[in-house]
Structure 1
Amino acid sequence: MSNKTSLAHCVWLNDADIAILAETQSTVVHNPLSNLRLGSGIAPILKYRQAGVNVTFGCDGASSNDSQDLLEAIKMGSILHNVTDSDYQNWITPRQAVEMASLGGAKGLNIADKLGSLTVGKQADLVLYDLTNLSLLPRTDPIGLLVLGRPTNVVDSAWVNGKQIVADGKVTTINVDELREELFNRSQWETKRKSETVAQIEAHYRTVMGL
């Protein structure tokens, strides 16, 4: 393990494991929505941070998290742990959450010298949010609203490595209408679907989980 190591979830680590993560400068990728969706546990993120472990946020895959909304994951991941520590000074603030998601993610990829912060010499990755959007009003702390609110369609512009991919709230690199039509046509409404593999794995699952 090293600063090039990124570990997803990390819901069942003990103190010795945490000490190794801190010593090796490894990264924990916190996927709170996926973990809750699957009932697989809650990573003790406040404990990791207090130990000096680099933590960032992830959405996990669509098969274990029905949305791929990073802001939703950041919100859930930053407030989920408040009930584990009665001292609010140890809680993750909105600004800390943004830094964890951006610079913390870049550290996890071992490219913090290239990405993760608005710094001269780093790649030009930038997202501009429309702070006049109704979902970000009335005006208070813009970072707090972005992280703890429920912003909807608030991205005005975005650049990746200097190339603009969103302008005036619209994606410029693909035809969104065609994508929407294809996704609709390749799927169907299923309100009573049950996986064919449930019966095959349920006995093993219940044994592993002690049910």
Structure 2
Amino acid sequence: MTDPEDPAGARTRILDAATTLFAAHGFDGTSTARIARVASVPKGLLFYYFPTKSDILSALLAEGLGVPAIDPTSLSVPGDPVRALINVGERILRNHAASGVLREIIWHESHTRPEVGAALTRYRQALHATIEQVLSASLTAHVGSAALRAAAAAWGATITARPLDSGRPDAPPGGYLLHSAESLRSIAELLCAGLVAPHISTLS
């Protein structure tokens, strides 16, 4: 079964409709019938591309949640690991900004849908490996592998944390934004200072 007019476009419309509806109503609150209606496709065509609603979510995660192929040398700054971390942060935050609606789905469903949790785990592992490579290429002093892994995990958590909007009631006083340039630099400086401390750099 195919869409004689625009088969590729139909699949894209289904995913776009699902993204919007999952973000607005949640996975469980969105029916396949509603996705088909918003996508302007017959329900049978939706099931041709995606036999189950979970298959739609899995496709969204596979296509929208991933660490882009990053050449560590393009972000590394030998002798300036702080700048290198900021380079990684800026790249990842740009990617997040481009897929804000999908990120809302991930934040909402990460504790309820096992496929979302699994996709997040894969994403974090790939991101941490990239950060480790960038740090290794930027540090001039020897740093143990355990310390590198810990720093990569900490920086990964920082740049992927859900930012607080100062207009929201749960934002801290003053509207502190974790992803502001000033905050990111301060955290990067703290991490790098710890990495080059004598008692840390000798750990393996």
TM-based fold match above 0.5: no
1 or 2 for the larger relative contact order (CA 8 Å, sep ≥6)? 2
* TM-score in terms of structure 2 length: 0.27
Determine which structure has the larger helix proportion and give its number. Answer: 2
Determine which structure has the larger strand proportion and give its number. Answer: 1
* TM-score in terms of structure 1 length: 0.26
